[in-house]
């Protein structure tokens, strides 16, 4: 090993631990020394904690008191590029390094060595005496070919007690041996033929592959309507990456989408890739983590945190549905996986593919500015065409009270059912009714701990706070005036819409797709498969349905309230509405049948609604970009959100005001601070929330100034401060 990269026994090393310490700790290299980046266990007070050798020791501590590293863990050392990535990502998001290290070590039992287990195979010897049970064991081993089985697996499959197996081992007829627990993943074969590509698909694939061949950093926006074959195209880039012996990572926004994708990978490459998300068992997570570092896997499909796996030679990161808001981690380390993917790739000479039908404005602007390449797939594959889109002007429709499906939309649904096709009614509101009001006194039922109204969930027979998750039974009497039987729902959620649908289309089979109605990701997956196979006539869904599911018989999408996303103070409201509506509309007519999307709106003349209907996306982006440029907000300026929270309202306001007064470090870089103001949701879980917003020029060194600014004051006990760089939402 090179001198610099290895520390000999007794040398001082600086170790980064997962403990909240805010600095590196000095230790002495243990017997046998340790490599730079090695995973180690070190003593800290009376405990032993996980750490990584981050560099040479500083020697600032009393040398006599420096303790040795307890042991070096049996795991591939964290590579220089990964250490650089964690450092840069931590600096950018102002996240302490111990938390960054935790992100990179989210696999249980890392310290336990490779982990051996006993496995059993057929041996050369013959048993002295054959019994039925012994015959079954030997036959079972035969059946499994050369595969090694554990004692439990073998005895179970043969239907014998474990002592029978042990008896055969004693006689040499079965061999017992140790085998590592974390096995490499089955080989993916990039040479298996893919689908023949259409001309524009082939051109797109070719240009992605050029970047992969060059083995340099580059980011490409792969833009194409839903169904244009973006997935087919980037699978070709994955193939090229595997051919070159490098690893690939595909990030998906939603666990529910993984199953369909894994099947496609298996069809393309002949085996299933590694999977990484919250639904994966801890044994399997450990295996993925280790194999990523040792090169025992070629492709990982996963959620945003897969970015922090210790890949040994990452050549490609695909961010599918790159505009999806779930890529932004909203608690703990506040990072956007899309941006971090670009950072990581730039440090390891990898390519990034950002795939979307409706990219976010940041990505669009980066492509405009030439920082990202851009490839457009303009037509849908095969005969599938983009649906026709029309507005239903709700001001002109005759609506009965407490009904939300206009006569025009109802007629369209009717026609689809008659034709044996599916219709989707989209409403981005979970539950039965967003508001419960007392008809006697006008009181609206709110959450006890938050500044939010409680949403009635009739399936669960409870009121639920969508902010903190608190629930309570629906009261009989008004909590304010005591009147009984006067509480009434106001406005629709998907459950209430389902009632209207059942009343209007009594013959139709109705499926409601809302995340809270499914106990598990598996249950949801099964429902989606059932619907895709024709198991429903009318689908009622929240934004869950906007995310890439393929329903071939779906030909009509009705958007119940297209104006919903246009309200609110969020700077991304227009962009979000635009994306969501286009995604939802993209669900219609994915197979041979042509689709129709109908948008119920009270403001058909609104620029966003007009852009959606007109299909002139570039015009929408340009107008939105000009608006943001004028306001000096992202991507043309920089924002940081600072949220202070405390059970004590006065304390939190005072602290916020004091911070705002001491704005010299911010003014020095030309940044401005706004607030403190009550956050849009002013109380969550009994904590009062106050927000400051910092706005700076695009080129200003914002992080350093923010750190200096926030570091001036020590928050009082019980007051929490979180800083969100590039905030996506303004909660």
Interface residues with ligand ADP (CB under 6 A)?
Answer: 195-198, 201, 224, 226-232, 381
- The least distance separating ligand ADP from the CB of residue 191, rounded to whole angstroms, comes to 18
Give the chain's largest Cα–Cα span. Answer: 91
515-534 binders of Zn ion (CB under 5 A) = none
Q: How far apart are CA 100 and CA 98, in angstroms?
A: 5
Q: Which does 434 bind (CB under 5 to 8 A by kind): Zn ion, ligand ADP, none?
A: none
Q: What tokens were used for 117?
A: 């287990």
Give one DSSP letter per residue of 53-79, joined into a string. EEEE----S-GGGPPBP-EE-SSPPPP
Instruction: Choose which of 100, 333, 348, 450 interacts with Zn ion (CB under 5 A).
Output: 450
- The least distance separating Zn ion from the CB of residue 560, rounded to whole angstroms, comes to 26
Helices 573-585 and 617-631, packing angle to 10 deg: 160
Instruction: Choose which of 465, 553, 596, 597 interacts with Zn ion (CB under 5 A).
Output: 465
Q: Could you count the other beta carbons within 10 Å of the beta carbon of residue 33?
A: 17
Closer to ligand ADP by CB, 18 or 358: give it: 358
Q: Which does 230 bind (CB under 5 to 8 A by kind): Zn ion, ligand ADP, none?
A: ligand ADP
| C-alpha to C-alpha distances, 118 to 140, 201, 260, 415, 585, nearest whole angstrom | 17, 49, 35, 63, 54
Instruction: Choose which of 467, 543, 579, 646 interacts with Zn ion (CB under 5 A).
Output: 467
- The least distance separating Zn ion from the CB of residue 464, rounded to whole angstroms, comes to 9
Closer to Zn ion by CB, 305 or 646: give it: 646
Phi-psi region of 485 (alpha: psi -120 to 50; beta: other; left: phi over 0): left
Q: Which does 198 bind (CB under 5 to 8 A by kind): Zn ion, ligand ADP, none?
A: ligand ADP
Contacts of 564-570 with C-beta under 8 Å, sequence gap 24+, read 564/428, 564/429, 565/428, 566/603, 566/606, 566/608, 566/609, 569/680, 569/730, 570/729, 570/730
Closer to Zn ion by CB, 450 or 597: give it: 450
Instruction: Please classify residue 610 by burial: count the beta carbons closer than 10 Å to its beta carbon, then call 0-12 exposed, 13-18 middle and 19+ buried.
Output: middle
Q: Is 645 in the site for Zn ion (CB under 5 A)?
A: no
Tell me the torsion sign for CA atoms 157, 163, 164, 170: positive
Q: Which does 465 bind (CB under 5 to 8 A by kind): ligand ADP, Zn ion, none?
A: Zn ion
Query: What's the full length of the chain, in residues?
Result: 731
| 38, containing H or E segment | none
Closer to ligand ADP by CB, 229 or 589: give it: 229
Q: Could you count the other beta carbons within 10 Å of the beta carbon of residue 164?
A: 20
| C-alpha to C-alpha distances, 479 to 467, 470, 482, 490, 685, nearest whole angstrom | 20, 17, 6, 17, 20
Q: Which does 226 bind (CB under 5 to 8 A by kind): Zn ion, ligand ADP, none?
A: ligand ADP
Q: Is 447 in the site for Zn ion (CB under 5 A)?
A: yes
Number of residues that bind Zn ion (CB under 5 A): 7
Q: Which does 468 bind (CB under 5 to 8 A by kind): ligand ADP, Zn ion, none?
A: Zn ion
Tell me the torsion sign for CA atoms 670, 675, 681, 682: positive
Q: Which does 148 bind (CB under 5 to 8 A by kind): Zn ion, ligand ADP, none?
A: none
Judged by CB under 5 A, which stretch of 424-432, 443-451, 656-664, 709-717 contacts Zn ion? Answer: 443-451
- 208 and 262 in contact (C-beta within 8 Å)? no
| 116, containing H or E segment | strand 116-122
x/- track of binding to Zn ion for residues 312-331 (CB under 5 A): --------------------
Instruction: Choose which of 260, 449, 663, 708 interacts with Zn ion (CB under 5 A).
Output: 449
Q: Is 470 in the site for Zn ion (CB under 5 A)?
A: yes
Q: Is 494 in the site for Zn ion (CB under 5 A)?
A: no
Q: SS3 string of 675-709?
A: EEEEEEEEEECCEEEEEEEEEEECCCCHHHHHHHH
- The least distance separating ligand ADP from the CB of residue 355, rounded to whole angstroms, comes to 7
Q: Which does 470 bind (CB under 5 to 8 A by kind): Zn ion, ligand ADP, none?
A: Zn ion
- The least distance separating ligand ADP from the CB of residue 581, rounded to whole angstroms, comes to 17
Closer to ligand ADP by CB, 234 or 578: give it: 234
Q: Could you count the other beta carbons within 10 Å of the beta carbon of residue 342?
A: 22
Closer to ligand ADP by CB, 53 or 250: give it: 250
Closer to ligand ADP by CB, 90 or 224: give it: 224
Residues forming the site for Zn ion (CB under 5 A) = 447, 449-450, 465, 467-468, 470
């Amino acid at each position: 090993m090179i001198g610099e990269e290895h520390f000999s026994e007794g040398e001082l090393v600086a170790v980064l631990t997962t403990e909240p310490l805010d600095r590196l700790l000095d230790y002495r290299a243990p017997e046998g020394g340790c490599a730079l980046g090695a995973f180690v266990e070190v003593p800290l007070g009376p405990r032993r904690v996980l750490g990584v050798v981050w560099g040479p020791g500083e020697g600032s501590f009393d040398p006599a008191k420096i303790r040795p590293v307890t042991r070096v863990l049996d795991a591939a050392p964290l590579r220089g590029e990964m250490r650089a990535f964690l450092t840069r990502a931590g600096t950018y998001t102002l996240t302490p390094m111990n938390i960054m290290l935790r992100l990179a070590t989210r696999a249980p039992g890392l310290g336990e060595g490779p982990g051996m287990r006993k496995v059993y195979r057929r041996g050369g010897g013959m048993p002295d005496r054959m019994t039925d049970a012994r015959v079954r064991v030997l036959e079972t081993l035969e059946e499994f070919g050369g595969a090694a089985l554990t004692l439990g697996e073998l005895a179970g499959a043969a239907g014998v007690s474990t002592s029978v197996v042990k008896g055969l081992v004693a006689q040499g007829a079965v061999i017992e041996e140790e085998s590592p627990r974390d096995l490499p993943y089955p080989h993916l074969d990039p040479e298996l033929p893919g689908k023949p590509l259409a001309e524009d698909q082939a051109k797109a694939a070719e240009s992605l592959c050029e970047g992969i061949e060059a083995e340099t950093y580059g980011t490409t926006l792969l833009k194409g309507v839903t169904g244009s074959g973006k997935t087919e195209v980037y699978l070709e880039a994955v193939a090229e990456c595997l051919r070159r012996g490098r690893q690939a990572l595909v990030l998906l926004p939603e666990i529910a989408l993984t199953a369909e994708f894994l099947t496609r990978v298996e069809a393309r490459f002949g085996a299933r890739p590694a999977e990484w998300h919250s639904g994966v068992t801890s044994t399997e997570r450990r295996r993925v983590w280790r194999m990523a570092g040792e090169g025992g896997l070629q492709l990982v499909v996963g959620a945003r945190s897969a970015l922090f796996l210790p890949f040994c030679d990452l050549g490609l990161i695909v961010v599918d549905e790159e505009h999806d808001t779930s890529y932004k981690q909203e608690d703990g380390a506040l990072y956007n996986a899309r941006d971090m993917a670009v950072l990581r790739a730039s440090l390891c000479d990898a390519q990034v593919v950002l795939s979307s039908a409706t990219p976010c404005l940041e990505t669009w602007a980066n492509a405009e500015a030439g920082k990202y390449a851009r490839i457009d797939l303009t037509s849908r594959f095969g005969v599938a065409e983009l649906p026709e889109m029309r507005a239903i002007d709700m001001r002109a429709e005759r609506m009965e009270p407490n009904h939300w499906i206009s006569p025009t939309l109802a007629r369209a649904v009717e026609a689809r059912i008659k034709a044996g096709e599916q219709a989707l009614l989209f409403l981005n509101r979970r539950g039965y009714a967003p508001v419960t009001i007392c008809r006697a006194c006008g009181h609206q039922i709110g959450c006890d701990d938050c500044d939010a109204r409680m949403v009635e969930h009739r399936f669960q027979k409870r009121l639920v706070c969508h902010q903190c998750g608190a629930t309570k039974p629906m009261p009989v009497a008004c909590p304010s005036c005591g009147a009984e039987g006067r509480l009434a729902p106001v406005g629709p959620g998907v459950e209430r819409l389902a009632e209207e649908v059942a009343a209007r289309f009594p013959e139709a089979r109705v499926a409601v797709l809302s995340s809270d109605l499914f106990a598990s990701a598996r249950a949801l997956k099964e429902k989606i498969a059932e619907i895709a196979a024709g198991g429903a006539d009318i689908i009622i869904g929240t934004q869950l349905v906007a995310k890439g599911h393929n329903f071939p018989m779906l030909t009509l999408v009705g958007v119940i309230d297209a104006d919903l996303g246009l309200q609110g103070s969020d700077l991304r409201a227009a962009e979000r509405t635009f994306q969501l509506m286009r995604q939802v509309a993209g669900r219609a007519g994915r197979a041979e049948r042509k689709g129709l999307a109908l948008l119920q709106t009270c403001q058909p003349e609104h620029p966003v609604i007009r852009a959606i209907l007109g299909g002139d996306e570039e015009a929408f982006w340009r107008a939105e970009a000009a608006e943001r440029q004028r306001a000096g907000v992202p991507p043309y300026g920089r924002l940081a959100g600072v949220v202070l929270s405390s059970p004590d309202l006065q304390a939190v306001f005072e602290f916020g005001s004091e911070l705002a007064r001491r704005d010299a470090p911010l003014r020095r870089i030309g940044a401005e601070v706004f607030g403190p103001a009550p956050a849009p949701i002013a109380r969550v879980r009994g904590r009062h929330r106050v927000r400051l917003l910092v706005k700076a020029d695009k080129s200003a060194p914002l992080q350093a100034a923010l750190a200096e600014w926030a570091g001036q004051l020590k928050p009082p006990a019980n007051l929490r401060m979180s800083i969100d760089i590039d905030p996506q939402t303004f909660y």
